[in-house]
Amino acid sequence: MNSSSVGVLCQTGYQLQQAGQLSEALSRYQEALSIEPACVEALNGIGQVYQVQGMLPEAIAVCQQALKLQPDFAEAYKTLGNVLQLQGKLEAALRSYQKAVEFKADFAEAHANLGTVFYKLGRLDEAIGCYRKAIALKPSLAGVYWNLGQILHNQGNVSEANVYLQKAVQMQPELAGPDFVFKRGNALAAAGEFQEAIRYFKSAVKLNPNWPEALANLGFAILCQGQRQDEFTRSNFLEAFNSLLKAIELNPSLMFPHQTLYCLLTVDVQESAEFDFLRNLAQQYVDRCGDVGKVIAQTALMLRNLNSGSTEVAKETMVRLEANFVESGQNLTGEEMAILYGGLLFGALSLRDDLLENTRLFKSVGSFYGRLMEEKITAKKTADGVSLLGSDEVWLMSGEATEELDRPKQKLKVGFLSKHFCRHSVGWCCLDVLQEFSKLAEVYLYVSGGLKADDQTDKFKQLAYQYYESDKNIFVAAGEVDADILQKILRDELDVLVDLDSLTVRGHAEIMYRKPAPVCVSWLGFEPPFMSNENYFLCDGYTHPVGVEEHYTEQLVRMPAVWVAVSGFKSTRLNGEAIRKSLRVGVDQMVYLSVTPARKLNREMIEAQIKILKEVPESILVQKGVGDSEVIRGLYKEVCEAEGVGFHRLKFADMAKTEEEHRDIYKCADVVLDSFPYNGGSHTLEALWFNVPVVTRKGEGGMSRMGYSLLKNLGVESGIACSWDEYVEWGVKFGKDANLRNSVREQLRKSKQADCLAPVWNPQKFAVDLLAIFEDLLKKVNQ
């Protein structure tokens, strides 16, 4: 029993010793000795601790005590040799190591240390023999490879020496010294080999824990690796966060770690608990970033609160950022401005429906950002991509040249730029149109920002005349243009370039600002970028009615009917009754559905929804959307208590694994309640495809008029509200009038019939109209 306890204590002591917790290790060894005074393992462990602590005479004493108890104890001879070598007593150390290997012939570490003493004594052949013996016994001894390589190199055996040196550095990079390790990490990251780059940057930080550039590049590599794998463990996430924040604290003026930390904190997450986790980290960033990065930190915090569902807090931060920009925006760096530009515009359109106030801000921000970009381009200060700190290698990613194919001269060359050629709302909204459009023109697809490819991606690849995605294209710093994509666009000599993501994807603004095609158009992803009056924004007469042109920078180009068209959506085979049963909802109960992510929720909308429930007895609301479930439930609970509506009438549906599974939720819904001021896009389209009546509020800006446009283009007037009061009225009407619901459902069914196909369901007609618009714009440019 004592023997077992002593063994555990010695093993624990060794683990603590390896972890650098010397005092704790010493305590475990001494405790083992108190149980078994003749324990040579504990005595040897104490000797090793004393050695590290610089207590060399004491270390020698305990080693000798161990050897007196067990004269053939090889480990004690090795420890004694180490201490003697530190004292400069090489001959004595030599004899001690020789004793160690005499009693334990396969003792690799003792052979290695014996080789080192031979080397110091100038007995190189004997040193080489010992080193070869050591690595034959234990191939993981990186230091031995390094020492052997050094000796061979000095003897002129360069070829063999390099083999050993490379092996050593591969196993333990810091052996080569800080500069080599750092530059090697940069080279690996630039090649997209992020896992290996992380190892080298960690070695650089190990060699110099206060090296801000190494800390920043380590955080960058962890971010890129996580994005490539589409997975962040909390430990990896925290490692990247702490590394970047420490780099900022060591050198606040470095913009690269600020940019990278912003991107880290604004990654997409699905699990509810992760929203609170990231929100807390964003607050830490604000608290610790200093004055230099305050704008970047506050923008990250605003977006984290917005995506969590804490929209009131997000709005307060947005208002502060807006005021700060008005006061001192001219003092911001290009990197700060790039982040503020995207974050502030996205936040404002999600939180405020005020066309005059929003567009005044957007024009000002866009104009100032445009001037910074103009200066950068003119002065050729841009590296056209990310350059790792301390690296001479620019983050340029050149794809293999694609052989030019013969093409009919009459077809337009139209490029589409996006990071969402996949299962994403942008992907769902453009795929059917692009499939039809590819029959009319040459379609070039350019993937930016690191695509998470899936089965939808294959469909995009099939329709494309050329499809381009850099295999290294994982991450581009906030506001930096992806040089590889830009170069490819320029080489392809397009007639028209269409940005599908607008300001929601970093770097697109500069690509479009540079005008790499005669006609540059923004469509789908968001409102226009407010950057260039030479470019265009594709919309329709309902989202952007005649008369609003003065509020925009880009020239508005209106489709003849609607801003988007799809041929439909697939779902699984589950029926409405099965879905209701899973939610514990009665077959005849009135079900309202809100398919709203947290970033589109707000208190006014929740109040309107609960007021509808209050007026429609026995009705329930099913809420489904990505966000912080605690925040979302808390908001609904507060409003239910204020309105006197039982919280049990709320059902919170889990997120589905696929869009097809998600769409089953529409089969149990009687009415969908749209979001405002940021209307649903693909979600509203899905609801209408499954013939579910929609209540939508029409606002002033384009994002708050998407639902209105869809209903008008389907010939449906019921459900369009101009205020929250009207929104509630329509919700109550639908809830109490089954005939009204059935009438709208019938309208929606008829809208899909071939003889009266609505423009919303007619991507073929949309593609024809789109081509005509592009041809007209090209003629206008060439006049």
CA 253 distance to own-chain centroid: 24
Among 662, 661, 655, 669, CA closest to 576: 669
Weakest mean pLDDT among 249-263, 303-317, 464-478, 690-704: 464-478
Q: What percent of the chain has pLDDT over 70?
A: 94
For 73-83, the pLDDT digits (tens) are 999 999 999 99
Given this model, what pLDDT does residue 475 score? 52
Give the integer Cα–Cα distance in Å for 527 and 504: 10
Give the integer Cα–Cα distance in Å for 179 and 204: 8
Sheet with 413-418: strands ordered across: 466-468, 442-447, 413-418, 496-499, 519-522, 536-540, 555-559
Among 596, 723, 757, CA closest to 669: 596
Band (pLDDT 50/70/90 cuts) for residue 50 is very high
Weakest mean pLDDT among 185-194, 466-475, 684-693, 708-717: 466-475
If phi > 0 it is left, if psi is from -120 to 50 it is alpha, else beta; for residue 69 that is: alpha
Burial (CB < 10 A; 0-12, 13-18, 19+), residue 459, is: middle
Q: What percent of the chain has pLDDT over 90?
A: 73
- Look at residue 510 and tell me whether its pLDDT is greater than 80: yes
Q: What mean pLDDT is predicted for residues 397-415?
A: 56
- Look at residue 60 and tell me whether its pLDDT is greater than 50: yes
- Look at residue 220 and tell me whether its pLDDT is greater than 90: yes
User: Long-range CB contacts (< 8 A, 24+ apart) of 302-306?
Assistant: 302/343, 302/347, 303/266, 303/343, 303/346, 303/347, 304/265, 304/266, 304/275, 304/278, 304/279, 305/279, 306/347, 306/350, 306/351, 306/598, 306/599
- Look at residue 473 and tell me whether its pLDDT is greater than 70: no
Q: What mean pLDDT is predicted for residues 600-613?
A: 97
Q: How high does pLDDT run on average in the chain?
A: 90
Weakest mean pLDDT among 108-122, 130-144, 185-199, 486-500: 185-199
Give the burial string for 146-165 (b: 16+ CB within 10 Å, else e): bbbbbbbbeeeeeeebeebb
- Look at residue 405 and tell me whether its pLDDT is greater than 50: no
- Look at residue 402 and tell me whether its pLDDT is greater than 70: no
- Look at residue 400 and tell me whether its pLDDT is greater than 60: no
For 262-313, the pLDDT digits (tens) are 999 998 888 888 999 999 999 999 999 988 889 999 999 999 999 999 999 9
Weakest mean pLDDT among 180-184, 316-320, 706-710: 180-184
Band (pLDDT 50/70/90 cuts) for residue 481 is low
Choose between 267 and 421: higher pLDDT: 421
Angstrom distances, CA of residue 434 to CA of 438, 587, 689, 780? 6, 40, 19, 24
For 168-203, the pLDDT digits (tens) are 888 888 777 888 888 888 888 887 889 989 998 998
Band (pLDDT 50/70/90 cuts) for residue 471 is low
Weakest mean pLDDT among 466-470, 712-716, 734-738, 765-769: 466-470
Given this model, what pLDDT does residue 409 score? 53
Given this model, what pLDDT does residue 389 score? 58
Sheet with 591-595: strands ordered across: 650-652, 620-624, 591-595, 671-673, 694-697, 720-721
- How crowded is the C-beta side of 637, counted as CA atoms within 13 Å? 7
Give the integer Cα–Cα distance in Å for 112 and 105: 12
Residue 697's beta-bridge partner residues? 721
Given this model, what pLDDT does residue 384 score? 40
Given this model, what pLDDT does residue 21 score? 92
Band (pLDDT 50/70/90 cuts) for residue 407 is very low
Question: Taking the CB of residue 335, how many other CB atoms lie within 10 A of it?
Answer: 22
* Cα Rg, the chain, nearest whole Å: 33
Band (pLDDT 50/70/90 cuts) for residue 592 is very high
For 384-398, the pLDDT digits (tens) are 444 455 543 322 222
Choose between 149 and 321: higher pLDDT: 321
Weakest mean pLDDT among 20-29, 33-42, 173-182, 723-732: 173-182
Give the integer Cα–Cα distance in Å for 12 and 764: 71
Given this model, what pLDDT does residue 328 score? 86
- Look at residue 500 and tell me whether its pLDDT is greater than 90: yes
Question: Taking the CB of residue 362, how many other CB atoms lie within 10 A of it?
Answer: 25
Weakest mean pLDDT among 94-103, 143-152, 180-189: 180-189
Among 434, 453, 430, 436, CA closest to 444: 434
Q: End-to-end CA distance of the chain, in Å?
A: 96
Q: What mean pLDDT is predicted for residues 151-159?
A: 85
Give the integer Cα–Cα distance in Å for 260 and 220: 6
Query: Domains of the chain by range and CATH?
Result: 2-105 (1.25.40.10), 413-559 (3.40.50.11380), 583-761 (3.40.50.2000)
Q: Which two tokens stand for residue 614?
A: 């209050």
- Look at residue 162 and tell me whether its pLDDT is greater than 80: no
Q: What mean pLDDT is predicted for residues 323-350?
A: 90
**Strand ranges inside 420-543, DSSP E:** 442-447, 466-468, 496-499, 519-522, 536-540
**Is residue 724 within 8 Å of 701, Cβ to Cβ?**
no
Q: What mean pLDDT is predicted for residues 318-334?
A: 90
- Look at residue 156 and tell me whether its pLDDT is greater than 80: yes
Q: Which two tokens stand for residue 205?
A: 């930080």
Weakest mean pLDDT among 387-391, 415-419, 664-668: 387-391
**Is residue 46 within 8 Å of 62, Cβ to Cβ?**
yes
DSSP 653: P
| 519 φ/ψ angles, rounded to the nearest 5 degrees | -120, 125
Q: What is the pTM of this model?
A: 0.79
Tokens 């029409």 correspond to 698
Give the integer Cα–Cα distance in Å for 535 and 368: 17
